[in-house]
Amino acid sequence: MKIENNEISFNVKTSVYSQAIIMKTCYVFIDRVYVYLDKPSKDEILVVLKGKDILSKKDLEKIKGEFSNELLNTILREDLVKQNKKVIEYIVGGAISAALEKKEPINNDNEVMDVEKEIEALKKELEKIDGGDYESDSLNIKKII
């Protein structure tokens, strides 16, 4: 670990954390610091976190600690996704399937006539309840313009 010029640099072992995990972790920090990566050896990735604002040594050490915690967080989230992959696939598949299901449109003339008859029956029922036709304004709700 090295701290100088408003930046902290440290190596992360690729035998512990994959390159993908390291990259996902870096993404979490790009709003707070500039992130630079290098690969000095086959088994390590050099991570350099440079403050966008002036940061104290203590602040830089805190960011490194948060980075280490986020590495663990990211790897655990990845493991959870792998463990629950089938459940996630079933849920997403069911949601997509339900969204794509469509009711068949009414194509049959008899069905159209049945629907129209039902609408007329409902209109007549409303007329009986209201005492006039269904378009009348027995409650004086309509305004004359």
- The verdict on 123 and 57 lying in the same domain is no
Residues 23 and 55 in one domain: yes
Residue 39 maps to a domain: yes
Going by pLDDT thresholds of 50, 70 and 90, the confidence category of residue 76 is very high
Whether 92 and 115 share a structural domain: no
Q: Mind listing the pLDDT tens digit for each residue in 23-51? A: 999 999 999 999 999 999 999 999 999 99
Residues 74 and 127 in one domain: no
51 and 7 within one domain: yes
Structural domain contains residue 144: no
What is the extent of the structural domain holding 110?
A: 106-134
Torsion angle of the four alpha carbons 69, 75, 77, 79, in this order, in degrees rounded to the nearest 10: -150
Structural domains of the chain, count: 2
Average pLDDT score over residue span 93-97: 82
Same domain, 75 and 119: no
Looking at the chain, list the stretches that DSSP marks H as alpha helix, in order from N- to C-terminal side.
Answer: 19-29, 57-83, 85-100, 109-130
pLDDT at 12 over 80: yes
Name the phi and psi angles at 107, rounded to 5: -110, -20
96 pLDDT more than 60:
yes
Q: Indicate if 25 and 91 belong to the same structural domain.
A: yes
Which pTM does this prediction carry?
A: 0.61
